[in-house]
Structure 1
Amino acid sequence: MNILIITPALRGSRAGNRATAERWQRLLGTAGHDVRVITEYRGEACDLFIALHAWRSREAIAAFRADWPDLPLIVVLTGTDVYQHQRLYPEDTLASMEAATALIGLHDRVGQDIPVHLRGRLVTLRQSAALPIRRSEPPSDAFQVCVIGHLREEKDSLRAAKAARKMPPESRIRVVCAGKPHNEQWQAAVAAEVAENDRFQWVGELGEADTAALLTGSHVMVISSIMEGGANVVSEACRAGVPVVASDIPGNRGLLGDDYEGYFPVGDEAALADLLWRAEREPSFLDRLNEQVSRLAPRFTPEMEQKSLEQALALAGERCSSGRRVNPEG
């Protein structure tokens, strides 16, 4: 098929949705499809349209549906779509979801958080990660914790740094944060944290190889987000065999499972400090987290992601050809 993927993230951006679009371009290309990634829709013809973001791509989705009412359309639900924009902009967000012949959710719990009548259109796709192209060994003179991702409110990016301040004086914790500040406020916040917290290091935005080296060279990765649609960095940690300490939100539980032992309450740096201190001083606990992420790793292979993509394509085409898109019962 001739497939268009639209994402708000420009070419060259390290934003997660740009990486997703380009990874899907490769995976679908491997399956024989002709795929282009665009950031603005201008009425181009295609056999199938994939839109990352229900709300941010709302204008493109509406235009495509107006131009091509009978073609399959897949809308990918991000964390902000499901956990923010459904509430703040319900009319626009729901309109994009209703326009779709298939929806993609990036973790196992998305179906619980969208309207019931749309659940029949949903395909769960777990984002994949390649095995690390560069590995490092964790330091012996510190308990290294990494935080990877753009610094912004949704990620609660400095929560691990604040937790490190609360750990006992004998702790050897070092929090290393990699990512680009979202705005001037975040730039100032991370600079202040560097100046005030000798247990915190910010290394800026890293390339793929250096990010892999930071991840594999850490004892633990922290994902402290207040909302997630299914963070690819969790996939990367599981594939790399790096234990994850995660905020207790649907987007993390939907990837790691209810029985995972490494959760802490959202925004609670005291609880996070306790969990990190336990990981530092109890090798058996750290080993259990390692075993759990290693068991999850086969879910996040490129082969599994490609299979889910093909499932979404098939569902979108089937629903379009049968006319079920217009059925209000989904």
Structure 2
Amino acid sequence: MARAHIHIVSPASARENNGNWQTASRWRRHLARDYRVTIGPGWQPGDGVPDLLIALHARRSAAALTAFSDAHPDRPALLVLTGTDLYRDIHDDAGAQGSLARARALVVLQPRGLDELPEAVRAKTHVIYQSAPRLRPARPRMPRDVAMIGHLRIEKDPQTFMDAARLVGTPGVRLVHIGAALDADLGRRARETQDATSTYRWLGALSHMATRRRLRRCHAMVIASRMEGGANVIIEAVTSGVPVLASNISGNVGMLGDDYAGLFAPGDAQALARLIERSANDPRFAERLRRQCAARAALFAPAVERARLLDLVDNLLLQSTQAHEGTV
């Protein structure tokens, strides 16, 4: 018997190597044992017809989701809300709002995401944390690197990380940013910051595995974003034993917990600098962060993500089959 076909619409490709691509690639691996899985930038009439369409990002995949649901209303579509769509687009973009209605089921990547959704669609929404394999922590090297991982764009707020680098005075601490300059002006500012202070280095884009290897040797990882759906980099830090210093936004709190000690106000470079210095100079505080992160690690296990994803996909396909047989 032929395996059911699942097509994942990802607005990002392997070359871009961002969170959407990591989700698409990882979900393909999770599903490939049981289904035939393809990934592409879209779907349109004339393409092969999958048994289930998985669309990442409500706005950027809206055209594919609309075309598929109009052409094949009997086949299910699953929409994954990945970040900017959840916290911005669904509130003011008609295409993103239409995606919420068309999808048979929705996924958010952490429980705080449910608060952003209209009441009418929450019943069909599922929370699935993303995952990463555990890496054994490595002893941090000197200088003690504090990493920020993410392409340079406004939503990630790399400027706050740069400004904090100019404020950190603890000897032996260095702020290292990994990511491509998607915004040319932010790239220019990164180069200027690197020239102005030895506390900051911008490494540009690295491969996913090279980034993980570097991360596991870091003293801490910063996520300064103003908008996140459920960041992969938090998971990769936690599963590498690296404590996180995070902007106090819904998506980060949903990943780390309401009582997490390593939060700072978005855009507050002084608060971030104080957290970095406290984590470097106060062993009890650093250990508290490590314990809190370790307590979340079980949520981000690949086996847990795979089980929840398979349960959802299996049920969507079963319901579709039963509905079709009921009309024959």
TM-score, with normalisation over the residues of structure 1? 0.92
Residues 1:205 and 1:159: Cα distance change in structure 2 (over 3 Å): same
What is aligned with 1:95?
98
Whole-angstrom CA distance in 2 between matches of 1:110 and 1:4: 24
Match of 1:38 in 2: 40
How far apart are residue 315 of structure 1 and its match?
A: 4.9
CA distance in 1, matches of 2:122, 2:202: 41
What are the equivalent positions in structure 2 for 1:77-226 lying under 5 Å apart? 77-89=81-93, 91-132=94-135, 136-139=138-141, 141-168=142-169, 170-226=170-226
Structure 2: how far apart are the matches of 1:246 and 1:179? 17
Secondary structure of the residue aligned to 1:203 is strand
Conserved? CA contact 1:3–1:47, under 8 Å: yes
Shift of 1:206: 1.1
Counterparts of 1:267 and 1:318 in 2: how far apart (Å)? Answer: 46
Distance verdict in 2 for CA 1:165–1:123, change over 3 Å:
same
Identity %: 36
The 1:84–1:232 alpha-carbon spacing in structure 2 relative to 1, beyond 3 Å, is same
**Greater relative CO (CA pairs within 8 A, separation 6+):** 1
Alignment of 1:13-92 (within 5 A): 13-30=16-33, 32-43=34-45, 44-89=48-93, 91-92=94-95
Q: What letter corresponds to residue 49 of structure 1 in structure 2?
A: L
Q: CA deviation at 1:171?
A: 3.9
The 3-state SS of whatever aligns with 1:260 is coil
Say if 1:123 and 1:311, in contact at 8 Å, map to a contact too. no
Instruction: Report which stretch shifted further, 106-115 or 200-209.
Output: 200-209
Specify the code of the residue in structure 1 equivalent to 2:67: A
Does the 8 Å CA contact 2:159/2:186 hold for their aligned counterparts?
no
1: CA distance between counterparts of 2:100 and 2:320?
14
Quick check: 2:13–2:21 contact (8 Å CA) kept in 1?
Answer: yes
- The structural deviation recorded for 1:167 is 2.7
Mapped to 2, the partners of 1:174 and 1:106 lie a distance apart of 31
Distance 1:120 1:298 in 2: 26
State which drifts further: 16-25 or 245-254.
16-25
Q: How big is the shift at 1:318? A: 6.3
Classify 1:135/1:283 alpha carbon distance in 2 versus 1 (closer, same or farther; 3 Å): closer
Aligned residues: CA RMSD: 1.8
Deviation at 1:267, TM superposition (A): 0.5
Map of 1:327 onto structure 2: none
For the pair 1:6 / 2:5, whether they are aligned, the reply is: no
For residues 24 and 273 of structure 1, the distance between their equivalents in structure 2, rounded to whole angstroms, comes to 36
Task: Report the 3-state secondary structure (helix = DSSP H, G, I; strand = E; otherwise coil) of the residue aligned with 1:74.
Answer: strand
AA aligned to 1:34 is R
In 1, Cα distance between equivalents of 2:91 and 2:121: 16
Q: How many residues align?
A: 318
8 A Cα contact 1:171 1:277, kept in partner: no
Per-residue deviation at 1:135?
Answer: 6.1
Unpaired stretches in structure 2, ≥5 consecutive residues:
324-328
String of CA shifts for 1:86-113, please: whole Å, max 9, x gaps: 2331x21111010011001011111111
8 Å CA contact 1:265–1:271 kept in 2: the answer is yes
SS of the residue 1:240 aligns to: coil
- Contact 1:101–1:317 (8 Å) recurs in 2: no
Instruction: Give the deviation of 1:13 after TM superposition.
Output: 2.7
Task: Give the match's secondary structure for 2:110.
Answer: coil
Deviation at 1:274, TM superposition (A): 1.3
Q: Report SS of the residue matched to 2:6.
A: strand
Distance 2:322 2:88 in 1: 32
- Relative to 1, partners in 2 of residues 1:321 and 1:249: Cα closer, same or farther, differing over 3 Å? farther
**Offset of residue 210 of structure 1:** 1.9
Q: Distance in 1 between matches of 2:189 and 2:311?
A: 43
- Secondary structure of the residue aligned to 1:75 is strand
Q: CA distance change for structure 1 residues 288 and 11 in 2, over 3 Å: closer, same or farther? A: closer
* Rounded Cα–Cα distance in structure 1 between residues aligned with 2:300 and 2:264: 23
